[in-house]
Structure 1
Amino acid sequence: MGDATPAKEHILILLPLPPNEEILGGIKKKHPGVTIKYVTLSFSAVFGLEPHNVPDGDFLEATILVTLAVLPNDIKFLKNIKLIHLFSAGADKVVDTPVWNDTKIPITNSSGVHGPQISEWVILQILANNHKQKLLLEWQKKHYWGKHTEVGWVRDYVGQRLGVLGYGAIGRQTARLSKALGMDVIAYTASPRTTPESKRETGYTVPGTGDDEGVIPSAWYSGLDKASLHHFLKQDIDVLLIAVPLTPQTHHFLGKEEFEILGKKNAFIVNIARGPIVKTDDLITAVKKSPKEGGLRGAALDVTEPEPLPEDSELWDVENIAVTPHVSGLGDTYADRAFAILDINLTNLEKGKPLINVVSRKKGY
C-alpha cells in the first residue's frame, strides 16, 4: 500500500470554548484530508491576562489558525499559515501586532455571526426606554400599581428615524427590524455607496436576515471627516445606532459637538460597537440635560470605556442610561456561524475563489 494522502490543511483552533464535535466532524467530512487540533484556553489566556502556553510547534505545524487573539510570540512560527480566522467581529485585538504589520497572511473575521442577537438587543433597549420598562420593573418589585399619569404617553416609533452609523451586518439587521416598526432608516458608511453594487453586503450574513441588497435605507451618507459626520447627524435622527469598528479614525468619534446636534431632536443613542468611540463624560452631560436644553433622550450602552466599567463610574446611575456588560452578542449559535465562515473559506481556498470576511489592514477592519 502507498503512503496516505497528506492532509490538505492542518487547522489549529485556540478558543475559550469546548470543542463541538458535530461541527468539527462536519468540517472534516466536507473537506477530506483536513486535520484539526483543538486547544481549549481560559478566557484569561485568550485576553492576555496570563500566558497561553500553546507550544510553538503547534503554530509551526498549522496551515490555518482559528483564534480570538492568541498568536505566537514570534511570527516565524506562522511560516506555514495561509489564513488566520478570527472568532471575533473586530480585529482591534490583533492590530499593531507583528502578524498585522510584518506579514501578509490573510485575516478573516466573524462579522455577521451576531447580527440577529445584537439587533434584538438594540430593539429591546429602544423599546424599554420608550415604554418606561425600568420604572415598571421597579413598580413590580414594590408591588405598586402605578397611575397612568405616572407613566405618561408613549410615542411609538412609527415615523421616527434610525440613523445607522456603520451599515454592516448588525446595522442591516437592525434596519430590517426597525423598518418593521415603521421607522425610516438612513445609513452611514466610511466610503460612498452610490451604486446598487456598492450597497450590497459582501460578507457573511445569517440566512433570512439583514439587507443584502442595501435597499432599506432611504438615504446613504459617508465619510470619516467631521463635516461629513455632522451632515449625517443633522438629518433629524431620533435613534442613532453606533455600529462602526474602532479604528484611529473612529476613536472618540462622538463627543460634545455631535451630541449637541443630536440633542436638537432629543435623540436616543445605542452603542454596541466599542466604548472608546464615544466620549463618555460628554455623553453623560448630554443625557442629563433636559429636552429644552437640547439634551439627549437617553442611551443604551453594551460597551464602555473602560471595560469592565468601574463600580464608581457615574454611568451606572444616570437615570436614562442603560448599561450592560458587553453581552449583546452572546448566543448559542455564535460558534456554529463563526465556523460556517471558516467552512465557506475552506471551500473557497480549495476552489481558488476569493475569501469572504477579509479584514483590510489599511482600514483596520
Structure 2
Amino acid sequence: MGAITADDKFLLHLPMPLPKSFFTAVAERFPQLRIHYEVAPVVNHRLMNSDELPDEAWEGVTMLCVMPPPTPERMKNVKFVQLASAGSDLWIGHEAYTNKDITFCCTSGAHSVQIAEWAIGAWLAHAHNFRTFMAQQDEEDWDMKLSLSGTTTDSPGLRMGILGYGTIGRQVARLAHALGMEIYVQTFSPRPTPESKKLSEYHVPGTSDPDGLLPAKWFSGSGPEAVNHFLSQDLDVVLLSLPMNPQTKGCIGAEQFKILGKKKPFLINVARGPIVNTPALVEALETGLLRGAALDVTDPEPLPKGHPLWKAPNVFITPHISWQSSRLTERIAAIILENLERWDKGEPLLNRVKR
C-alpha cells in the first residue's frame, strides 16, 4: 500500500482547465484518492479565491493546488501543496508556508518555453523596430527612412546578462545563444562544479540548458555589491528571471540603472514587478539609461491607467501573460501526476520548494 489512502482528498482550483487525460490517469493509478476540481473564474481582473468555495469542497482536503493562497483555517489537514506557478512569492508570510510539516512543490519548467519565447520575441521586435513598422502599416505608409537610419540591431556578438538561472533563464539562454549572443548569468549561490550547474527542476524535453553549459561566465551572490558587479559587465540585454523574496525586492533601482547606463542595455522583466523600483525604471527610460524595456510584470499590478510607465519611451508592457500557452495545462498536469506517483512511493518530489 502506498502513502496515498482513502483518507486523502485533493482540491484543485485553477483558472485554466486541466486535460481530461489527467483525471483519467489519476483515477486509474489512485482510485482511492478523492478529487474536487473546479475552474476558478476571473472577474474584474480578480481571480476567485478558493476560500469562496463551499465548506463541503474543503472537507477532508489533504492535498492542494489552488490560486491564490487560501486562509490558514482552510488548511488544517493539508500536508501537500502543489503550486500551479513557478514561484512561491504569493505564499511568503502565510502560516502554512512556514509550517515544515507541509510540503510545497512548484511547477517550475512548465512555463519556461513560452516565457522565453515572449522574452526573445520582445527583444527582436524592439531590435527590428516592429512597433514602428506596425504603426506605419496601420497608416498604409511605405516609409523606409527608419530601416536606413542604422537603428536596427541584430543579435550575434551581443552580451545577455541573466539574473536568476532557473528554468526560465536557461531557456532564454538557449534561444539567445542560438541567435549568437554571449551569455553571462548570476545566481545566489556559487556553482563551481559541473554537478552544481545542473538543473534539478522539470524542463520540457529538448529545451533549456540542463547541464549549465551555455554561460560564458557565471557570477554569484545576492547582495547589492554582487548584483552591481554583475550589472557592470557591459551587458547589451538584461533578463530578470529571479525569484521574488525579501532579498530581491527592489534590488534593481536607481543605483543599478546608473551602472547599466554605461552600455544602455535593453531590460526584460519576466520575474516579478517589485524586483524593480518603478519610479527609477521610468526615469531610466526617460533619461536614456536604458535603450528600452519589455515588461510582463509591473509594480503596481495591475498597472493603473494614467501611470507614467505606460507612456515611458521604448517600453513594451503586457498584463502578466507571458506564461500562457495552449500546452501549459498538459505540462502542469504532468508535474502533478509525477509528484503524486512520487508521494505515493515515498520518493523525492519534483520541484520541491526550498524554504
TM-score (norm 1): 0.90
CA contact (8 A) 1:46 1:52 kept: no
Which residue in 1 is equivalent to 2:70? 71
Contact 2:268-2:295 at 8 Å conserved across structures = yes
Shift of 1:124: 0.8
Indicate if the aligned counterparts of 1:308 and 1:325 stay in contact, CA closer than 8 A: yes
Q: 2:85 aligns with which of 85, 88, 101?
A: 88
Task: Give the Cα separation in 2 of the matches to 1:141 and 1:39.
Answer: 42
Residue of structure 2 in register with 1:105 after alignment = 102
Matches for 1:1-365 after TM superposition, within 5 Å? 7=6, 9-43=8-42, 52-74=51-73, 77-79=75-77, 81-102=78-99, 104-148=101-145, 151-153=148-150, 154-290=152-288, 295-361=289-355
CA distance in 2, matches of 1:241, 1:67: 28
For the 8 Å contact 1:187–1:220, the answer to whether it is kept is yes
CA contact (8 A) 1:19 1:38 kept: no
- Contact kept in structure 2, 1:64 and 1:83, CA below 8 Å: yes
Read off the aligned partner of 1:329 and give its amino acid letter.
W
Alignment-mate amino acid for residue 115 of structure 2: I
Distance 1:264 1:34, change over 3 A: same
SS at match of 2:37: strand
Residues 14 and 70 of structure 1 are in contact (CA less than 8 Å); yes or no, is this contact kept in structure 2? no
Change (3 A) 1:191 1:14: same
Deviation at 1:236, TM superposition (A): 1.3
2-side partners of 1:194 and 1:318: how far apart? 40
CA deviation after TM superposition for structure 1 residue 128, in Å: 0.8
C-alpha separation in 2, matches of 1:199 and 1:61: 41
Residues 1:151 and 1:272: Cα distance change in structure 2 (over 3 Å): farther
Give the Cα–Cα distance (whole angstroms) in 2 for the partners of residues 45 and 122 of structure 1. 27
- Aligned 8 A contact 1:46 1:70 in 2: no
SS in 2 for 1:65: strand
Partner Cα separation in structure 2 for residue 51 and residue 179 of structure 1: 41
Q: Secondary structure at the match of 1:14?
A: strand
Contact 1:173 1:210 in 2 (8 A): yes
Report the alpha carbon displacement of residue 185 of structure 1 after superposing the two structures with TM. Answer: 0.4
Secondary structure at the aligned position of 1:209 is classed as: coil
CA contact (8 A) 2:270 2:297 kept: yes
Q: CA deviation at 1:51?
A: 7.4
Q: Give the number of the structure whose residues are more often helix, by fraction.
A: 1
Report the 3-state secondary structure (helix = DSSP H, G, I; strand = E; otherwise coil) of the residue aligned with 1:135: helix
SS of match in other structure, 2:91: coil
How far off its partner does 1:206 sit?
1.1
Q: Which has the bigger relative contact order, CA under 8 A and spacing at least 6? A: 2
TM-score norm. by structure 2 comes to: 0.92
Deviation per residue, 1:264-284 (Å, 9 max, x gap): 111110001111111111112
Q: Secondary structure at the match of 1:300?
A: strand
Greater mean alpha carbon deviation, residues 55-64 or residues 314-323: 55-64
Q: How big is each residue's C-alpha offset from its partner over 1:61-86, in whole Å with a ceiling of 9 and x where there is no partner?
A: 123111122424515x532x331101
**Distance across 1 between alignment mates of 2:154 and 2:180:** 9
CA deviation after TM superposition for structure 1 residue 350, in Å? 2.2
Please say which of residues 65-74 and 330-339 is displaced more in the overlay. 65-74
Structure 2 residue identity aligned to 1:244: L
Partner of 1:199, secondary structure, is coil
1:140–1:103 CA distance, 2 compared to 1 (3 A): same
Distance (whole Å) between structure 2 residues aligned to residue 226 and residue 315 of structure 1: 25
**Between Structure 1 and Structure 2, how many residues are aligned?**
351
| Contact 1:41–1:52 (8 Å) recurs in 2 | no
Task: Give the C-alpha shift of residue 102 in structure 1.
Answer: 4.0
1:127, CA displacement in angstroms? 0.7
Give the whole-Å Cα distance in 1 for the aligned partners of 2:183 and 2:98: 37
Gap regions ≥5 residues in structure 1: none
The answer as to whether partners of 1:112 and 1:170 remain within 8 angstroms in 2 is yes
Q: Secondary structure at the match of 1:349?
A: helix
- 1:45 is displaced (CA, Å) by 11
Structure 2 unaligned spans of 5+: none
How far apart are 1:22 and its partner, in Å?
A: 2.1
Greater Cα offset, 233-242 or 33-42 = 33-42
